[in-house]
Chains A and B, each alone.
Chain A
Amino acid sequence: MTGAPVPEPGGSPDTPAGAPGTSPVASLKPARPRWRETLGLLARNPTAAVASVVLLLIVVVAVFDDTFAPEGANEISVTDRLQSPSWAHPFGTDDLGRDILSRVILGASVSLKVGFLAVGFALVAGTMIGLLAGYYGKWVDDVLMRFMDMLFAFPAVLLAIAVLAVRGPGSGNTALAIGIVYTPIFARVTRASVLGVREEVYVRASRSVGASDWRILTRHILPNAAPPIIVQTSISLAFAVLAEAALSFLGLGTQPPNPSWGLMLAEGRGYIELAWWLAFFPGMAIFLTVLCFNLLGDGLRDALDPRQRTLMAGGGK
């Protein structure tokens, strides 16, 4: 007979090297979680590592702002108006004698809260819409994505202004407005990623053993479609902080006297020739945060790239 396979030796015929006699109880837990591998790869990228550390610092400061801020946000001191940076007031004081350092620290929580809320909203809504559109296709795809296109066709600031005009200004509504504006971006990124994963053989394999659509979507498609969504999240956080600043600058976001970086920038504008520090320090805070989110996004893009993964994890030092 042609092509006859090698005869089976007695006993366990086709057991490859290993220890077949060990306990048949297998652990269902992975030996090494994926996220740890990703973190390891991220740590090898110096730029992204520094950006992550700086972001972590910013977040810690924002969370414990009351502890870090030397003074309250609205402690007015008429005698200390428009003081230039000094030991007593490292970032100087504004036209009402409020400590700028304290306001930048307290503003961090406002700016970041709006950023995280907005991106959180866009992430959840956009990912769900993208998943459904990409997985089910046909009319579901048409209806959902045309709706997203309509949102997308609106100028972002105009849409945000419309939302705020209806619901009134304030941090929460600002976050909602920015979230709605960013939803189509997440929907598109997710849909594109899902379209690729949907056709994978392992999805068909999962269906062949009887897995439900829900199971396939949550256990197979979403985890494999996630990398571009994660990158988009990081980059969107940068844009959301900027958008919050822009809306507050226009007077639609955070309302005075609450501190927010964009609002402080707007308030400092009038004194730019007289006291540069009013606008400079909140501007620097925005710049640093946005830069770090962008650098982290770039680093994540590289760390989550499967080709990078095999190159670095496989051929590691």
Chain B
Amino acid sequence: MSSDVLVSVRGLEVHFPVRGEGIRKKGAGVLRAVDGVDLDILRGETLGLVGESGCGKSTLGNAVLRLIPSTGGSVHFAGTDVTSVGGKGLRELRRRAGMVFQDPFASLDPRRTVAQTVSEPLEVHGLRSGRRERAARVGELLELVGLDPAVAGRYPHEFSGGQRQRVGIARALAGEPDFLVCDEAIASLDVSVQAQVLNLLRRLQKQLGLTLLFISHDLSAVRHISDRIAVMYLGRIVEIGPASAVGSDPQMPYTQALLSAVPLPHPALERERKRIVLRGDVPSPSAVPSGCRFRTRCPYVFEPCDDVDPALQPAGAAGQQAACHLHGVVGTPVERTPEGVTAEP
């Protein structure tokens, strides 16, 4: 089992200090963007990570690659501890693990040509010596992502969103990585272009044997591309399992609500579709509820939910896990303050 794990995340925390207003700025609290995440990403798989905006999924993706410093827990990439590695080890990590960013209009330096952008990893890691070799490799990479190598001398503003995203993918692939984090990589593209880029990623994943962490708020896109799906809520993974199981028979009430919001492409089925509408808003990550963090909006809330923070436990299909007391009360009891909320004010 462990030999198949490429990325292993244990108890990862990313907390940001929250500044108070006025003169007294310190000690105003913490924002728990990622709050104790355990996650294994298997070699060669595509793991979809879904959740509402603000649930911490992008922060998790960035922290896994150490583009944002984590405040607790550990991340191991192919055996090396990402959170403490430095120098050569860190550079090797940067080569072996790439990132595709959400907004292709912001992720490309407007003053550098496509060729300069794509060849940056080659120069940084000394992968090709000499201009001609690098230029040839840039051409290969552009072809790999479906772009004409002749466009290498152009600037990003001369491209459409989909083409820019291809350039971003080519840059991420230049270091010949094993692992790619796609952070909402299709969210800011037109729907028709989304499909193209999604197919491109799927083809590249198969062709190059990549391991993908595909972060998205679009459950249907995630279901399409992923082998497994992890659902995130308020900084924690609340359900994880094979894409087919999580996508059709979710065991956690939150996932059920998410899934019920996806329109069905069949008129009769769509008419039958029952939406589970959640009450209220997502609580602030700077005041996480005690016990189960979903209890303030859960339609099935019962006694243990207030007092016990549920752990992931087997539920539903093989390999499927949900953090919900409906599948048996398992978890850490919560120490309660008189107000009933453990989070700092």
Contact = CB atoms under 8 A, between A and B. Distances in A.
Contacts of B151: 18
Contacts of B120: 206, 209, 211, 219
B224 A210 contact: no
A27 B152 contact: yes
Interface in A1-18: 1-6, 8, 12-16, 18
Contact of A4 (B119, B139, B203, B224): B224
Interface residues of B, number: 72
A282 B203 CA distance: 72
B264 to A, nearest CB: 6
A126 B125 CA distance: 32
A224 B111 CA distance: 7
Interface string A1-44: 11111101000111110111011111111110010000000000
Contacts, number: 172
A34 B115 contact: no
A167 interface: no
B224 A5 contact: yes
A210 B149 contact: no
A154 interface: no
A305 to B, nearest CB: 13
B78 interface: no
B138 A5 contact: no
A204 B107 CA distance: 8
Given A28-B135, A209-B174, A220 B109 contact: yes
A24 B91 contact: no
Interface stretch (B92-100, B234-242, B301-309, B311-319): B92-100
Contacts of B121: 209-210
Nearest to A221: B109
Contacts of B155: 30-31
Nearest to A226: B111
B107 A1 contact: no
B17 interface: no
Given A5-B224, A208-B65, 9 more contacts: A2-B264, A8-B199, A16-B147, A28-B134, A30-B153, A201-B102, A207-B94, A211-B120, A219-B120
Interface of A: 1-6, 8, 12-16, 18-20, 22-31, 34, 200-202, 204-212, 215, 219-220, 223-224, 306, 310
